[in-house]
Amino acid sequence: MSQRSCLSVILAAGEGTRMKSAMPKVLHAIAGLPMVAHVVKAAEAAGATGLALVIGHGAEKMREAAQKFAPKAETFVQEKRLGTAHAVLAAREAISKGYDDILVMFGDTPLIDAAALAAARQKLAEGAAVAVIGFRPPNPTGYGRLIEKGGHLVAIREEKDCSEAEKEIGFCNAGMMAVAGKHALRLLDQVGNNNAKGEFYLTDIVEIAGAEGLDVVATGASFESALGINNRAELAEAESIWQARRRREAMLAGVTLIAPETVYFSHDTEIGADTIVEPNVWFGPGVKIASGAKIHAFSHIEGATVASNCDVGPFARLRPGADLRQKAKVGNFCEIKQATIEEGAKVNHLTYIGDARVGAGANIGAGTITCNYDGFSKFFTDIGEGAFVGSNSALVAPVAIGKGGYIASGSVITESVPDDALAFGRARQKTLPGKGKELRERFASAAAAKKKAAE
pTM, two decimal places? 0.89
Spatial distance between the Cα atoms of 325 and 307, rounded to a whole number of angstroms:
5
Least confident of 100-114, 138-152, 277-291, 410-424: 138-152
Confidence of residue 43 (pLDDT cuts 50, 70, 90): very high
Catalytic, 349? Answer yes
Residue 355: pLDDT band by 50, 70, 90 thresholds? very high
What is the structure's pLDDT at 204? 93
Angle at CA 327, nearest 5°, toward 323 and 328? 45
**pLDDT tens-place string over residues 161-171:** 888 899 999 99
Adjacent-strand bridge partners of 131: 178, 217
Comparing 45-49, 63-67, 380-384, 426-430, the range with the smallest average pLDDT is 426-430
The residue-averaged pLDDT of 425-443 equals 87
Task: Please tell me the distance from the alpha carbon of residue 89 to that of residue 76, in angstroms, as a whole number.
Answer: 10
Task: Give the C-alpha separation, 331 to 297, whole Å.
Answer: 11
The pLDDT tens digits of the residues spanning 213-255 come to 999 999 999 999 999 999 999 999 999 999 999 999 999 999 9
What average pLDDT score do residues 123-151 get? 94
Average pLDDT estimate for 114-136 = 96
Asked if the bond preceding 418 is cis, omega within 30° of 0, the reply is no
Q: Taking residues 320-347, what's their average pLDDT?
A: 98
The strand pair at 369-371 and 288-289 is best described as unpaired
Please tell me the predicted confidence (pLDDT) of residue 192. 93
**Would you say residue 198 has pLDDT above 90?**
no
With contact defined as beta carbons under 8 Å apart, do 402 and 420 qualify? yes
Confidence band, pLDDT 50/70/90 cuts, at residue 195: confident
Choice among 28, 86, 152, 349 that is catalytic: 349
Q: Which residue has the higher pLDDT, 326 or 59?
A: 326
Average pLDDT value for residue range 352-369: 98
What is the average pLDDT score of the chain? Answer: 94
**DSSP string of 78-108?**
-SS---HHHHHHTTHHHHTT--SEEEEEETT
Q: How confident is the model at residue 126 (pLDDT cuts 50, 70, 90)?
A: very high
| Residue 2: predicted pLDDT | 59
Question: What pLDDT sits at residue 159?
Answer: 85
Does pLDDT of 49 surpass 60? yes
Residues 6+ apart with CB under 8 A from 4: 47, 100, 101, 121, 124, 125
Residue 428 DSSP class: P
Asked if CATH classification 3.40.50.2000 holds for the domain at 6-226, the reply, yes or no, is: no
List the single range of 51-55, 65-69, 132-136, 320-324 with lowest mean pLDDT. 65-69
Spatial CA neighbour of 356 closest among 412, 398, 303: 398
Find the range with the poorest average confidence among 59-73, 103-117, 228-242, 276-290: 59-73
pLDDT digits (tens, 9 = 90+) for 371-405: 999 999 999 999 999 999 999 999 999 999 999 99
Residue 1 confidence (pLDDT) above 60: no
Q: At what angle do helices 35-45 and 232-252 cross, to 10 degrees?
A: 50
Tell which wins on pLDDT, 164 or 314.
Answer: 314
Q: Which amino acid is at 445?
A: S
Where do the structural domains in the chain lie, given as residue ranges? 6-226, 243-423
Pick the CATH number of 243-423 from 3.40.640.10, 3.40.50.300, 3.60.110.10, 2.160.10.10: 2.160.10.10
Count helices and strands in the chain by DSSP H and E runs: 10, 35
